[in-house]
Every structure is written in C-alpha cells, then in structure tokens.
Structure 1
Amino acid sequence: MSDTHKQLIEKVNASFEQNQPERFLDMCAENVTWRMAGHAVQEGKAAVRMASMGDMEPPKININSIISDGDRAACYGDMTMKDKDGSEAEFDYCDIYKFEGEKIVDLTSFMSKRGAESCEAESSE
C-alpha cells in the first residue's frame, strides 16, 4: 500500500500546483481532518474545501522526500508562493497523512517561511 500512498501524495501536490482543490478533495474521506500548524483545525470536506486554496495563486512545489509506512505517510519539501502581501516567498513544508484505504482521513501540515526570524532570535533581543 505504501507505493499507492506515495502516488496519492504526488497527486495531492500536483492538484495544489494546478489550482485544482476539488481533485485534492476527491482523495479525501468525507470525515477528513486537516490540521495546519498555527491555524484552526478543519473537520469534514466542506471545511477543508473552504480552507484548501481560496483564491490564492497556486504554489510551485518541490517534493524532497515521501516516506510511507502502513496507513501513514509524510512528505517534505519546499515551495514558492505569493506571501500575504503579494510578494513571492519561499517556504519549507512537511505534511503528515493518515489513510483509510486510498482516502486521506487526517492531514497535519507544517509550513515555515524561509528567512523568517526564529522565535529564539526574537526572544533574545
């Protein structure tokens, strides 16, 4: 099953790059949960649909590695996308998936802007 999960994750990333959130949602279970670090938890396809892309410009995604074991998989890499102010920015990301069969039931996402000040640097000032 792990090769199938790796292929699904590649399709997930392609759906975001091609600005096709419905393709992403087709790979999710009805009761999917999406946790994005620093944001509210989205539960169910309707909530995930609203949070998935909106009217953002699609990112350019580079997958560095996909690791899969049993019903879980993780993907990390980097992406370039428009920041909140509209300027292009680079981010590192890690997505952790849980599958039931070939459907995503849980997704936890971490994203960090490159060049952003660390918490340690801010607290030492």
Structure 2
Amino acid sequence: MIETNKAILQKANAAITQGDYEGFLAHCTEDTRWEFVGERTLPGKDTVRQWMAIAYAEPPQFMVDHFIAEGDYVTAIGEISLKDETGETATYAYCDVWRFRDGKMAELKAFVSKA
C-alpha cells in the first residue's frame, strides 16, 4: 500500500504540472482537507478546486527531493515554482504531509516557505 500511495501522489502531482487540475482532484476524497500551516485551511474538494483556479493560474512546477511513506502517510519534500501576484516566478521550499484513505488523498498538511 505504501508504494501505491507514493505512486498516486506522483501521478497527481504530474497532473498538476500539466494543468490537469481535475485529473489531480480525481485522486482526492470529496471531503479532502488541506491545511497550509499558519496560513489557511481548505475544507472539501470544491474549496480546493476554487483555490487552485487562482493559485495555479499557470501550472506550477515541482522538484521533489524526497518521498517518505509510512502507513497511510506520504511526505513529499522539495521545491515548487509558480507565478506570484505580480506575474513573477516565485520558488518555495515545501514539505507536504498527505494522509490517504481508501486509495485517495484525504488530508494535506503543507509547510511552505519562500526559498
């Protein structure tokens, strides 16, 4: 199951970088919950969809340094580059901790910092 969860996350992230947000969301539970620590929490797939439409107006690029999996959790550590409010590309260091349920991404706890 651990390898399966890692593969699901890799496939979902690939969909994001291609601008296929619905393809990404297909890997999330309806009640998925995303917490950006110290910033905001997005409850539910529809809220995540709305946030992605704004935050990912252009598809972001990921550079994952490490995937760490144990039980129902997969952690991804790396960098993400995306356009900021001014249209400039900004790079952030991140650590995403995903909890899986029934083969889908049910919860995200994201630690993000400007690189």
Same fold (TM over 0.5): yes
Distance (whole Å) between structure 2 residues aligned to residue 60 and residue 73 of structure 1: 19
Structure 1 counterpart of 2:34: 34
SS of corresponding position for 1:86: coil
Query: Which structure carries more relative contact order (alpha carbon 8 Å, separation 6+)?
Result: 2
- DSSP-derived class of the 2:40 partner: coil
Q: Which has the larger radius of gyration?
A: 1
Count of residues in correspondence between the two structures: 114
Give how far 1:99 is off: 0.7
- Asked if residue 72 in structure 1 is aligned to residue 51 in structure 2, the reply is no
- When residues 38 and 20 of structure 1 are mapped into structure 2, their CA distance, relative to the original with a 3 A threshold, is farther
Q: Which ranges of 4 or more aligned residues in structure 1 deviate by more than 6 Å? A: none
Structure 1 residues 7-46: aligned runs within 5 Å: 7-46=7-46
Structure 1 position 71, deviation (Å): 0.6
What's the offset of the Cα at 1:38? 3.6
CA shift at 1:111, angstroms? 1.5
Tell me the distance in 2 between the aligned counterparts of 1:10 and 1:97: 12
Task: Give a deviation string over 1:54-94, Cα, whole Å, max 9, x none.
Answer: 36111121111100111111001112221221112221111
Which runs of 5 or more residues in structure 1 are unaligned?
115-125
Task: Please provide the CA RMSD for this pair.
Answer: 1.4
For 1:11 and 1:53, the matched residues in 2 are separated by: 19
Q: Which amino acid aligns with 1:76?
A: I
The gaps in structure 2 that reach 5 residues or longer are none
TM-score w.r.t. structure 1 length? Answer: 0.83
SS at match of 1:58: coil
Higher strand share: 2
Alignment of 1:1-125 (within 5 A): 1-54=1-54, 56-114=57-115
Q: Name the % identity.
A: 33
1:61 maps to a residue whose letter is F
Offset at residue 53 of structure 1 (A): 3.7
TM-score (norm 2): 0.90
